[in-house]
C-alpha cells in the first residue's frame, strides 16, 4: 500500500547556547493511509520532535518529509495536532475554541450556519454537548483534552497527530479517553500518529508501534506490528496471550535493550 506519510533520512540538530545537539539521526518511516502508529521511547529520545516535524512546526536539518505525496513545508490544516496540555485558549468557550479551527478550514466554502453545525457535531462526537458554552477553566482536565481532540477532528484532517494526548490525565480518565479515541478513530478512519510513553496505551490503540532508541542522535530501533483484531476491548485483551506477548516485547525493548540510565 502507498505510504501516506513518509520520513526519509531525517536528521534533526538543535543549536542551543551550549552548542549543537543532535536529536534525531537517520529516521526512516512510512505510514500507510488509515493506519494508527504509535511512537514510543524514553523521555528525551526525540519522539515529540518527530511529531513536530510531521506537523511542520519544525524543519529538519537534513532529509525529507512527505504527506500525501507532497513535501511538508510548514504546518497545514490537513495535519491536525492534539497537544499534551490541551492548548485551549482560556478566553474562548469550548465552542469558540473549536470554531476557530473550523473557520480556518471551511470559511471559504461554507456558511456560518454550516460551520456552527460542524462545531457542534465535533463537540457531540467527544460527548461534550453540555459544555459547549463553558470556558476551559470551568471544565476538568479530561474534558479539556476532549475539546482538543474535537478541535483537531473538526478540521477533518488527513492526518491526526497526538502528542502524548493523555499524559497529563489520571489513570481512570486516561482509560476512558483511550476507549473513546478508539471509537472515534474507527468512525473517522483518519491516519493517526501518536507519541506516548505508556506501553499499554501503545499496544491497545496502535496498528504498529515505532520504538525509538535513546537520544542523543535517536533513531528508529524496532517496529512492532500489532495484529490484534478490532474492535479491541480492554478487559478481554488483559487476558489475551497475544496482547501480553506484544506488551512484553515493547517492555523488553525499553527496559532491556535500550534501558535508560537512571538520571
Binding site for another protein (CB under 8 A): 55, 57, 74-77, 79-81, 83, 85, 87, 89-92, 100-101, 104, 135, 137, 155
* 3-state DSSP assignment of residue 217: coil
Q: Shortest distance, CB of residue 57 to another protein, whole angstroms?
A: 6
* Shortest distance, position 235 Cβ to another protein, whole Å: 35
CA 183 to chain centre: 15
Q: CB 73 → another protein: shortest distance, Å?
A: 12
- Whether a cis peptide bond, with omega within 30° of 0, leads into 216 is yes
Cis peptide before 231 (omega within 30 of 0): yes
Nearer to another protein, 75 or 189 (CB): 75
| Residue 152 and residue 184 in contact, taking contact as beta carbons nearer than 8 Å | no
79 vs 247 by CB, closer to another protein: 79
CB 258 within 8 A of CB 221: yes
Nearer to another protein, 82 or 250 (CB): 82
SS3 25: strand
Output the nine-digit C-alpha cell for 54.
510531521
Q: Are 8 and 64 in contact (CB under 8 A)?
A: yes
CB of 110 to another protein, least distance (A): 16
Helix axes 94-106, 112-125, angle to 10 degrees: 130
Q: Which is nearer to another protein, 72 or 202 (CB)?
A: 72
In angstroms, the CA 145 to CA 27 distance is 29
User: In the bound complex, what is the minimum distance in angstroms from residue 182's beta carbon to another protein?
Assistant: 24
Amino acid at each position: 500500500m502507498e505510504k501516506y506519510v513518509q520520513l526519509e533520512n531525517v536528521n534533526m540538530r538543535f543549536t542551543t547556547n551550549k552548542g549543537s545537539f543532535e536529536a534525531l539521526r537517520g529516521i526512516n518511516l512510512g505510514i500507510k493511509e488509515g493506519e494508527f502508529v504509535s511512537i514510543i521511547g524514553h523521555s528525551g529520545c526525540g519522539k515529540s520532535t518527530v511529531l513536530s516535524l510531521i506537523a511542520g512546526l519544525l524543519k529538519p536539518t537534513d532529509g525529507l518529509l512527505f504527506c500525501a505525496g507532497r513535501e511538508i513545508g510548514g504546518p497545514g490544516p490537513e495535519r491536525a495536532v492534539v497537544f499534551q496540555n490541551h492548548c485551549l485558549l482560556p478566553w474562548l468557550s469550548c465552542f469558540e475554541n473549536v470554531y476557530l479551527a473550523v473557520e480556518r478550514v471551511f470559511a471559504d466554502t461554507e456558511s456560518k450556519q454550516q460551520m456552527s453545525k460542524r462545531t457542534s457535531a465535533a463537540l457531540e462526537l467527544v460527548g461534550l454537548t453540555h459544555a459547549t458554552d463553558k470556558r476551559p477553566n470551568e471544565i476538568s482536565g479530561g474534558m479539556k483534552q476532549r475539546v482538543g481532540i474535537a478541535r483537531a477532528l473538526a478540521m477533518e484532517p488527513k492526518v491526526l497527530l497526538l502528542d502524548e494526548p493523555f499524559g497529563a490525565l489520571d489513570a481512570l480518565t486516561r482509560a476512558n479517553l483511550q476507549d473513546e479515541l478508539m471509537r472515534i478513530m474507527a468512525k473517522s478512519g483518519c491516519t493517526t500518529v501518536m507519541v506516548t510513553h505508556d506501553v499499554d496505551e501503545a499496544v491497545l490503540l496502535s496498528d504498529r508501534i515505532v520504538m525509538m532508541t535513546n537520544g542523543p542522535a535517536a533513531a528508529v530501533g524496532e517496529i512492532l506490528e500489532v495484529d490484534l483484531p478490532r474492535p479491541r476491548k480492554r478487559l478481554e485483551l488483559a487476558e489475551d496471550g497475544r496482547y501480553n506477548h506484544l506488551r512484553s516485547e515493547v517492555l523488553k525493548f525499553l527496559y532491556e535493550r535500550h534501558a535508560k540510565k537512571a538520571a
